[in-house]
């Protein structure tokens, strides 16, 4: 299953609901394009909901890092929501879990944006 995304706005925060696989090729490209488009529209408070992302590879991890730094470099914030165990474990072993701001409650996550 390839990656799919849909976006919604909640109190000024853009929530990107992601599902499927973020892997080399299509999945990573879709994530890159979504973030780029949001930034081009001035939407810099981005919450990536990864609750339905069941698989991510090193390329997908790289794309998450790229999205995080790109948004931050433009003065925005990108946070992660609802990690599955697989994605959580991957971010732990790559020491990225503490780099990202990871949330597990959507309402609290939305409120946490400055």
Partner 1 sequence: MTEQRVSYTLDSTLETVDSAEQAASRIATEAGFDDEEVMRIAMAVREAAVNAVLHGNAYDPGKKVSLAFEQTGGNLVITIRDQGKGLDPDKIPDPLAPENLLKTSGRGIFLIRSFMDEVVISPSQTGTEIKLVKHVHGPAEGAKEASQ
State the residues that interact with partner 1 by CB under 8 A: 23-25, 57-59, 61-63, 65-66, 68-69, 86, 90, 93-96, 99
Q: What angle do CA 25, 26, 30 make, to 5 degrees?
A: 125
Using the minimum distance from each CB to partner 1, give the nearer residue, 10 or 55.
Answer: 55
CB 35, min distance to partner 1, A: 13
Judge contact between 67 and 30, C-beta under 8 A. Answer: no
State which residue, 14 or 28, has the beta carbon closest to partner 1: 28
Cα–Cα distance for residue pair 74/87, rounded to 1 Å: 26
């Amino acid at each position: 299953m390839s990656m799919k995304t849909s976006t919604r706005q909640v109190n000024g925060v853009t929530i990107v609901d992601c599902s499927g696989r973020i892997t080399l090729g299509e999945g990573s490209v879709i994530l890159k394009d979504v973030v780029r488009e949001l930034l081009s529209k001035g939407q810099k408070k981005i919450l990536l909901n990864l609750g339905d992302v069941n698989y991510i590879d090193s390329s997908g991890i790289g794309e998450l890092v790229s999205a995080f730094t790109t948004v931050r470099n433009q003065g925005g914030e990108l946070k992660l929501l609802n990690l599955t165990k697989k994605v959580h474990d991957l971010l732990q072993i790559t020491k990225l879990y503490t780099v990202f701001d990871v949330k597990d409650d959507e309402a609290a996550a939305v409120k946490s944006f400055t």
